[in-house]
Every structure is written in structure tokens, then in C-alpha cells.
Amino acid sequence: MSTNPFFAPWTTPFAVPPFDIIRPEHFGPALERGMAEHLADIAAVTANPAPPDFANTIEAIERSGALFDRVASVFGNLVSSLGTDELQAIEMEFAPRFAQHGSRISLDPALFARIDALYDKRHTLGLAPDALRLLERHHLGLVRAGAKLGEAEKLLMAANSERLATLHAQFGQNVLHDEKEWHLALGADDLDGLPDFVVQGARQAAEERGFEGYAITLARSSIEPFLTFSRRRDLRKTAYAAWVARGEHDGPHDNRVLIPEILALRAERARLLGYDSYAAFRLADTMAASEANVARLTDEVWGAAKHRAAAERDRLMEVARADGINDRIEKWDWLHYAERVRIAAFDIDEAALKPYFVLENIQQAAFDTASRLFGLRFIARPDIPAYHPDMRAWEVQDADGHVGVFLADNYARGGKRSGAWMSSYRDQSTLDGPVSPIIVNNNNFARGTPTLLSFDDAETLFHEFGHALHGMLSRVRYPSQSGTSVRRDFVEFPSQIYEHWLAVPETLRRYALHHETGEPLPEALMQRLLSARNFNQGFATVEYTASAILDMALHAHPDPANFDVAAFERETLARIGMPDEIGARHRPPHFQHLFAGSGYAAGYYSYLWAEVLDADGFGCFEAAGDPFDPAVAARLRRILQAGDTEDPMSLYVAFRGSEPNTEALLRHRGLVALAGAQE
């Protein structure tokens, strides 16, 4: 084997991972050494004969495991962005070992004893606020990992973690398998209603799969436009059925057999820690704090959303009857007829808009918005090595110089995880001198020449870039508090508030330029676009909120080990009165937020919670009369800089001046007049 690049200093610009020389075979040895060094670092902390203090315990923990962190961050990102068979095999091998490694540290009694001793006298240590919070969060993290349990219970927790890690990896790989394997082949006679950009994307998808003609894939950027524009109801039904059946096929890739075990293991963890359910356990360390508070939020939105969706359905049926549909529209019909109603109501359609939303222009709009708000500059760096030809890199600077590196990987492709996400290859900190962040945004846009985005796609790009700014603008001492290392139902606030700037007329006039003529989006068309933003919000709110309610129900189930996942899904949706014509945005067998990891488990509601914050928070700029008001932008930057150094509600109140309420959310979605209304 050639020299392992993880065992040598990186001489790339800004010490970006040398992607051009990293190979799959490098990860095993590097992960092995990284875990060994990490355990040695922790052993040095616990063996220290000096009484525990903040420096020799908490700061020493913050410095521990540097090699492991470096290797694991590269590996985790490449598994998601590339998803090769080799990387997936390594993931399945190491997932339980990562969990075992984590348990050896979090359940180490000597380590907890030192932290617990510091915690008991924390208010006498004279710690700065960020250090005090770090101590408290370290202590809470270990308690929630099982550090106070007896030895038998600790063994159960460790075994539980290892098994969950394997199941999470297997769940995600099963969804990816279905997304890679399925496509709908189309001939020239099957293109009725499809605009040029959909046809072009389908042609390219077929070429990538080695045949002539056209193909619709299970990338959201492929299937949603097809469901929107295709006039072939039979083909829409076929595509929709495949879309909602991901992870739900008999055989080795069936996620239905994994979900009960995942839920049962999580419920076991919660009971070991003294909670009635996993939902109660997770919510105890969130802004929402309890199932009751989440239920109040979802219930308030649910009634208004269903009422709005019923009115939307009636309008869609008027058009559907002209096509001979006299009973009801189905789930595979909604997007199609919604688009036709939108054209009639607002004289606007997706095919007319897309030519104005060129990927490169919208990326630049996101950059320039950050420049105006926060004084950032983005300098293209083609000399930075890439892990795939789709990846692009920029150096980020402000008035004081280098801030970090931003990477963008925007296109859908086989093997890449579906959806959109932000991650980091290196987090910001200053504990031992300035460490600048390396942040990546992944999207799954359908490639074109040029690549044209829907308005929703453009919002997704802004959303993920809001997360990127949260990581990029971090200004903290300790790595554990950096950037997005905040409570789950606060992490979506910076991303969701950033979406607002896409819809600022000034942004659209400057960056929504026709890909052929360079002409800006016509003023009348822009006004119609903005007027139509709340169109179909009943549908959008119902499909999202149903998934959030289902998530909470799954994780509050008292005995999930042997339950029928499909039956529980049907019963839950029936109980809340789910409209027959609308499907939940995510069904359990492909709900990767919940089951490909625990990050959003009993936490999918957090997008709605954060929307309360972002809708209310953008009101600061509206009240100032300027979406780029410098004083308000400075207060927003303070949130982005703070990471997890302060309580999130305290940060929000310092920004806004008061706690938020749901009225701003309902108004933003066009539901305010319907709050509490029922069908």
C-alpha cells in the first residue's frame, strides 16, 4: 500500500483533505489508529494523578481524538456523497465499532467521575460562560449516554448502541439501493406534457444508465417534475408507487423488518435512563422540552392545514373532471393538477419560471446575500482537490482575512444519498490557535446544460447555504460548541431564515436571469411568483406535518418490538384524519431522517419549530424596512457565531427582543385566518 495520506500532514490549500490521493483502502488502517489514539488520549486524562480541573479534564477531552475526528469526518462525508460499494462495505464493518468506541468513552467510570466532580462545584470554578456551558453539556451528554447506570445496564447500553449503529447503516443503504436500482424507461410517446428541462434530464438519466430514450429516476429532482407535468396518469401512478415504496420490498433490502428493532432498541435506551418513551427522552434536551409542547404546535397547524387542503382539493377536482376523473384525485394526481390550477390562477407555471433560475446564478445569489449581510467574499479555488468532478471549492474571506473553505456538490448521481444536506470536514475552534472550518453543501439537482432549478430547488440551495453559514461563521473556543452543534430544534433556524432572501425582489431582479437571453425575470411574472408562494400550502403543510406526527407516534409507542409498521402507519394517519388524496412526505420504510441515524428521531417536528423562529425572526428585517439592515444583520450574525455557547432561546430573544409565537408561522404559510379551523 502506498503511504496512507491520513498519517502525514496535509499540504493542500488550507489543509483540505487530499481527496485526489485518498483511497478506500486507506480508511481501515486510519480508523484503527485513530480510535486507538483516541482511547489513549482519554486514558491519559483518567490516569492523571492531579485532581480534576477544567484544563486537565474538559479541555483535554476537547483535544482528544484528533486523528480519529479527521478520518471519520472524511469517511462519513464520502459515504454519503459517493456511496461506492467499497465505502458501503467499510461502513457496515465499522458502524458497530464506532458505537463500541463511543461507548468505551461515554461509559468510562473514571472519566465520568472526574467530570462529575467538576460539575458538582461548577459554580465555584470561576469559568467563563462558554466554559461553564461546555462543562454542563459534557456532563449531561454522559448522563444521557448512561454514565450513571450500573454495570449491567451499561453493558446493555453498549450492546444497544452497537446494534443500532449497524441497523442505521443498513437502513440507509437499503434506501440507496432502491433509489439506484429503479427507473422508469420512457419512449418518445410517453413524454406528453413534459417540458424541455424534464425531457433533457430524463434523456441524460437514460444515458447514464446505458440505454437510449428517457428515464425517470427516484431522485426527487427527477420524480417530482414528472409527477407535476406528465399527462400520462398511468405513468404517474407507476412512478409514485415506486417513490413511496422505497425500502419496502421483500428480500434483503426490506426496511420494514428493521424499523421495529430500531424502535425497540431506542425504547430500551429510554427506559434504562428513566424515561417512559424515546420521544420523552429526546425531547428532554430540546427547546420544545416535551411531547405536549410539540403536540400543541402540530395540532395548531394541522387543523388549519387540513381545512386549507380541502379547499385546494376542490379546486383541483374542477380541472380533473375535465380529464374524466369524476370520483377523486389520487396521490399521484395532486402535483399535476395543482400545477394546472396554479397556471390558471396566477398565469404562471414551472416551465416558464425555470429558464430564469440557473444553478450558477442562484449559487452566486446565495454568496452575494452573505456578502451584503455579513461581509463575506467567495473566491473560486479550482486548485483545491476534489473527490468528484461535480465538487466545487471556494475560499471564504471577510474584512479580517481567511474565514474558511466552502465546498458545493450540487448534482444527483447514482450512489449519492438522496436529499440535501450540509456537513463539515473540519469544524471551527480557537482552543489551540485558530482552526478554520471546511463546510460542504450537498444537493441533488438534475443535471442539465445549463442546470435549471425550480423555485423550490432554489430555496433548497439557500436553505443548505444557511446551514453552511452557521458552520462557516462560527466563532467559538471549543470544537464541541462549533457551528451547528446546537439543539436539534434550533439547528434549522439559520437555514430556514436564510430562505427568505431568495424571495426578496431585489434578489430576483438581479439573479433570476433567462439562461438564453440574460434578461431578468419580467416584473409582472415576478410579482405573480411572489403572489403564488402560498399556493398549495395546505398540501405542503399536511404532507410535512403528517410525517412529524407519525415520527412522534412511532417513538412514543409503548411496545414497538413486534408491531406491524404498515398497519401502525395506516392507523395513525386515519386517527388524525389524513386526507386520502395526500401522502405523508416520508413513509417509515424510507424515512432516513428517523432511521438511517438518530439525528432527527423524535425530532422531525423541528423544521416546523424552527419555522416559527424564522418567520418571526425575519420580521426584524421587515420592521427595519430593509432586508439587508446592517444592525439586524449584526444581531443575526451573533447567533451564527455563538454555536452552542449559549442557550438557544436566550440567543433568539437577544436577536428578536422577545420569544416567538406561532402566528408568524401561520401567516407565512397563508394559514393564519384558518388557525384552529376544522373541515
Q: What is the mean pLDDT of residues 581-603?
A: 97
Distance CA 568, CA 561 (A): 12
Each domain of the chain, given as residue ranges in start order, spans 5-106+108-148, 182-244
Dump pLDDT digits (tens) for 361-381: 999 999 999 999 999 999 999
Dihedral through CA 302, CA 306, CA 308, CA 309, nearest 10? Answer: 130
Active-site residue, 519 included: no
Q: What is the pLDDT of residue 350?
A: 85
Q: Half-sphere exposure of residue 646, counting CA atoms within 13 Å on the CB side?
A: 15
pLDDT at 678: 41
Residue whose C-alpha cell reads 489514539 in the numeric block: 37
pLDDT surpasses 90 at 562: no
Write out pLDDT tens, residues 123-179.
Answer: 999 999 999 999 999 999 999 999 999 999 999 999 999 999 999 999 999 999 999
Q: Is the pLDDT of residue 107 over 60?
A: yes
pLDDT (tens digit, 9 = 90+) per residue, 470-503? Answer: 999 999 999 999 999 999 999 999 999 999 999 9
Give the pLDDT mean for 588-612: 96
The model's pTM is 0.95
Phi, psi of 438 (to 5 degrees): -120, 110
> Cα separation of 55 and 222, whole Å?
52
Domain 5-106+108-148, CATH 3.40.50.2000 — does that match?
no
Radius of gyration over every alpha carbon of the chain, rounded to an integer in angstroms = 25
The distance from CA 633 to its chain's CA centroid, rounded to whole angstroms, is 24
Nearest to 637 by CA among 366, 281, 372, 367: 372
- Looking at per-residue confidence, does 420 or 671 come out higher? 420
Distance spanning both ends of the chain, measured CA to CA:
67
So what's the pLDDT on residue 673? 53
- Assign 661 a pLDDT band (cuts: 50, 70, 90): confident
pLDDT above 50 for 676 = no
Q: For residue 444, what pLDDT is reported?
A: 95
Span 422-452, pLDDT tens digits: 999 999 999 999 999 999 999 999 998 899 9
Share above pLDDT 90 across residues of the chain, in percent, rounded to a whole number: 95
Give the chain's mean pLDDT. 96
Instruction: Tell me the C-alpha distance between 674 and 679, whole Å.
Output: 10
Q: What pLDDT, on a 0 to 100 scale, did the predictor assign at position 49?
A: 98
Residue 667 has pLDDT above 70, yes or no: yes
Phi, psi dihedrals of residue 13, rounded to the nearest 5°: -55, 125
Mean pLDDT of 302-323: 96
d(CA 418, CA 220): 8
* Single-letter amino acid code for the residue at 334: W
- Average pLDDT on 310-315 reads 97
- Predicted confidence at residue 670, as pLDDT, reads 87
- What pLDDT does residue 679 have? 37
What integer pLDDT is reported at residue 2 of this predicted model? 67
Distance in angstroms (rounded) separating the CA atoms of residues 4 and 652: 45
To the nearest whole percent, how much of the chain has pLDDT over 70?
99
Q: Which of 339, 464, 581, 646 is catalytic?
A: 464
Summarised one tens digit per residue, pLDDT across range 617-640 is 999 999 999 999 999 999 999 999
